[in-house]
Structure 1
Amino acid sequence: MLRATSLARRPLLLLVIISILPLQVAGDSVFQDDEDPTWRTTPIDPEEWVDGPVLEGSPMDDPIVGQAVLAIDVSYVAEHDSGRVQGRIIIELFETWVPVTSEHIIELADSGFYDGVFFHRVIDDFVTQSGDPECRTSGVYPATSPMCGSGGSGQTVPLEHDENMSHIDGAIGMARDIDPDSADSQWYICDGPQHGLDPENRDDEGYATFGVVRDGMSHVRAIAATPTSNAPLGPDLLSAPLGPDRPLHEATVVRMSLIGVVGIDVDSSLDSLAVADSSTWSSARFVSLGLAIVAMAGAALLAFRPKDSIG
């Protein structure tokens, strides 16, 4: 009797285990942790962008669904007798076309690397440049590190070009040294088209862009036109040919962060996922229930078989 009971339990245990497996597999697939950061599931509606650059028929003119959206919160003084302005510059990063550079900037921005860094070089109708961690105010501006303008994160990226990318108005690009693969953390935003920086218009490899301003372009232009060490009365009144082009009043990147992606309808995507998950669970439960019934029936038959048929 002991042997018969033991043998009867073995197929029961085996079938119960088999019946549970589909449910476990379904559970693993449905409840797998989502490792994407929150901003990856935050859609940004391009219709909200009203202060962009001048378009010129470039592939960069139109937003691309799914691309990362970067916010640069800035603080600056546009003119000597004006108050401090707080603003936000919205950048679309072209991850599809320049993935290495885009990911590099995303990692630095996500870590808070750029927060508190000031614009150390601005030239009206050319560029506004920032991104150097050495360019932080020490006490009272303009006191700063003597290395301001030459610092970085210590992690360089290779020069990354794409035929769709160029220095259109509002383009953001990577500053570098003579070595084309020396771009680190410093970036610049074009105030007006600067196609003289594109590789096809230069004797060297040129400079690489990785995104474009989608909103807040008026802040870029105001920072570019602020009085500097080279033009202390403003770019239209007095300009010296040499110098660091340092703003006389601190223009700061208060914060630089990822805020979303271009135009993904997350609600619809989640609804579709929920339907798929529900279907998966329903199928798994149906199969498991069927196998459990078979297991119970098989165990019952084995339990009531004559003793001599077991041995």
Structure 2
Amino acid sequence: MRNLVAALAILAAGPALATGLDIQIAGEASGTVHVELFDDVAPLHVKQLTTLAKEGAYDGVVFHRVIDGFMAQTGDVQFGDSTDEHFDMRRAGTGGSELPDLKAEFSDKPFDRGTVGMARASDPDSANSQFFIMFAPAGHLNGQYTVVGEVTKGMDVIDAIKRGTGRNGAVVGEPDRMVKVTVTE
């Protein structure tokens, strides 16, 4: 009986519904993308993403690195905000947020089409605000980057995002951007 009571207490303490993000995108791509976040797989990363979204930090942030057949990266709230008067596309992708970097939360979730993962530097514990959405599976990322969610609606919008050039996929000219990011529960 004691174990049953403890199990019910744990269930009651958890979220009643899954957390998600609705991302309105504008540019060559236009529309809304819904991402279901994996609270149970990467709780610290999900908390950081939702905190930034609730603060409006992602609104106006560009997709700065987009590699055809691989992924689209965004989320640099420090240097990627296209509405900032000092915005410089050459700096987009080099920053994070005022929140601390996060310890990796690796899982057995694979990097498939539509998977959302956290971008980081060479240090596995350096993810902060940037994330990427997969155009196609990329098994070489499995267990190397934190998976935070998956696109459940609007993958056609992701597919339409303006592609970057060169090996690193840097977007040249007018980038697509996240107009508004809202947390859903």
TM-score w.r.t. structure 2 length? 0.82
Superposition deviation, residue 145 in structure 1: 5.7
Aligned to 1:109: 53
Q: 2:171 pairs with 246, 253, 270, which one?
A: 246
Aligned to 1:300: none
1:124-161 Cα offsets, whole Å, 9 max, x none, are 11000000020133789xx6165321101132111002
Indicate whether 1:214 and 2:149 are aligned: no
1:69/1:139 Cα in 2 relative to 1: closer, same or farther (>3 Å)?
closer
Q: 1:170 pairs with 91, 114, 118, which one?
A: 114
Q: Compare the two structures and name the one with the higher strand fraction.
A: 2
Q: Distance in 2 between matches of 1:97 and 1:131?
A: 20
Asked if structure 2 preserves the Cα contact closer than 8 Å seen for 1:227 and 1:248, the reply is no
Asked if structure 1 preserves the Cα contact closer than 8 Å seen for 2:66 and 2:73, the reply is yes
Asked if structure 2 preserves the Cα contact closer than 8 Å seen for 1:122 and 1:247, the reply is no
Return the letter of the residue paired with 2:183: L
1:13-67 Cα offsets, whole Å, 9 max, x none, are xxxxxxxxxxxxxxxxxxxxxxxxxxx8xxxxxxxxxxxxxxxxxxxxxxxx721
Superposition deviation, residue 101 in structure 1: 1.1
Q: Compare the two structures and name the one with the higher helix fraction.
A: 1
Indicate whether 1:160 and 2:111 are aligned: no
1:221/1:152 Cα in 2 relative to 1: closer, same or farther (>3 Å)?
same
Asked if structure 1 preserves the Cα contact closer than 8 Å seen for 2:60 and 2:83, the reply is no
Runs of 5+ consecutive residues of structure 2 not aligned to the other structure: 1-14
- Counterparts of 1:72-87 in structure 2 under 5 Å? 72-77=23-28, 85-87=29-31
Q: Distance in 1 between matches of 2:156 and 2:32?
A: 10
Q: Distance in 2 between matches of 1:218 and 1:145?
A: 25
Query: Larger radius of gyration, structure 1 or 2?
Result: 1
Secondary structure of the 1:213 match is strand
Runs of 5+ consecutive residues of structure 1 not aligned to the other structure: 1-39, 41-64, 78-84, 200-205, 231-239, 261-311
1:215/1:138 Cα in 2 relative to 1: closer, same or farther (>3 Å)?
closer
1:175-228 Cα offsets, whole Å, 9 max, x none, are 0011110001000000011111112xxxxxx111110000000111111xx353
- Counterparts of 1:49-198 in structure 2 under 5 Å? 66-77=17-28, 85-133=29-77, 134-137=79-82, 144=88, 146-154=90-98, 155-163=100-108, 165-198=109-142
Q: Distance in 2 between matches of 1:259 and 1:126?
A: 27
1:231-266 Cα offsets, whole Å, 9 max, x none, are xxxxxxxxx44x552153320100111123xxxxxx
Asked if structure 1 preserves the Cα contact closer than 8 Å seen for 2:64 and 2:89, the reply is no
Q: Distance in 1 between matches of 2:20 and 2:155?
A: 15
Return the letter of the residue paired with 2:151: V
